[in-house]
């Protein structure tokens, strides 16, 4: 019921993460426009989430990202340090799920320094070659829009508009946050 977009603008050395304002009930085929954004910053981190407002609220309110060790690749930092802290706080606040001995939660995007990571519901970390990453039900529409586009805030807005046009579960206004790297 959402569209979350992470974008790296190499030309201007800027990371963006944006989210729509949809809350939906797929069983009832209803949607609502929410006030609380699905994107936020935690120090140098930009985070946007889908799956559950509660998961996002716990991460926003209680996550203190561990310091990034000097000379450690960000990819390994995400796996070794960041994700274990996310799992810890989600368990502490009774949100992390355990199915057949495997921890899982929801999907979110993390932007740090010049990198974008997709964290899947099994806590796997993916870093893509592209300068964008998208999650949520508007994913395919936004990715199609971003594929041959530039890497700018205007490109994110076009991608959100495409996703909102084709998906009943992507609703403006779109909240976009950014930081330089």
Q: What is the pLDDT of residues 67-103, one digit of tens each?
A: 999 999 999 999 999 999 999 999 999 998 788 888 8
Contacts of 166 (CB under 8 A, 6+ apart): 138, 141
Q: What is the pLDDT of residue 103?
A: 82
Query: Rounded CA gap, 128 and 52, in Å?
Result: 24
Q: Which token pair is 142?
A: 């936004």
Q: What is the pLDDT of residue 89?
A: 97
Task: Using the predicted structure, report yes or no on whether residue 156 has a pLDDT greater than 90.
Answer: yes
Q: What is the pLDDT of residues 119-131, one digit of tens each?
A: 999 999 999 999 9
CB atoms within 10 A of CB 64: 9
Query: Rounded CA gap, 26 and 169, in Å?
Result: 9
Which residue, among 108, 158, 121, 80, has the nearest Cα to 6 in the 3D structure?
A: 108
Q: Which token pair is 29?
A: 């085929």
Assess contact for 131 and 10: CB atoms under 8 A.
Answer: yes
Q: Which residue has the tokens 């495997």?
A: 102
Assess contact for 161 and 21: CB atoms under 8 A.
Answer: no
> What angle in degrees, to the nearest 10, is found between the helix axes of 83-92 and 53-62?
110
Q: Which residue has the tokens 């998961």?
A: 55
Reduce the DSSP state of residue 142 to 3 states and report it: helix
Q: What is the value of pTM for the model shown?
A: 0.95
Reduce the DSSP state of residue 145 to 3 states and report it: helix
CATH of domain 4-180: 3.60.20.10
Q: How far is CA 165 from the centre of its chain?
A: 21
Domain ranges for the chain, please list them. 4-180
What's the whole-number mean pLDDT along residues 158-171? 96
Query: Rounded CA gap, 70 and 176, in Å?
Result: 29
């Amino acid at each position: 019921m959402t569209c979350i977009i992470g974008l790296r603008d190499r030309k201007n050395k800027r990371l963006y993460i944006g989210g729509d304002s949809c809350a939906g009930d797929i069983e009832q085929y209803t949607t609502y426009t929410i006030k609380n954004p699905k994107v936020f910053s935690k120090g140098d981190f930009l985070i946007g989430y889908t799956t559950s407002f509660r998961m996002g609220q716990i991460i926003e309110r209680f996550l203190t990202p561990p310091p990034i060790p000097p000379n450690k690749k960000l990819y390994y930092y995400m796996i070794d340090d960041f994700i274990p802290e996310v799992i810890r706080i989600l368990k502490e606040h009774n949100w992390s799920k355990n199915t057949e001995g495997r921890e899982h939660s929801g999907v979110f995007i993390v932007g740090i320094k010049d990198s974008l990571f997709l964290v899947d519901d099994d806590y796997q970390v993916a870093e893509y070659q592209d300068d964008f990453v998208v999650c949520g039900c508007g994913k395919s529409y936004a990715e199609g829009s971003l594929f041959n586009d530039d890497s700018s805030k205007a490109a994110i807005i076009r991608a959100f508009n495409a996703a909102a046009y084709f998906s009943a579960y992507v609703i403006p206004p779109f909240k976009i946050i950014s930081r330089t790297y």
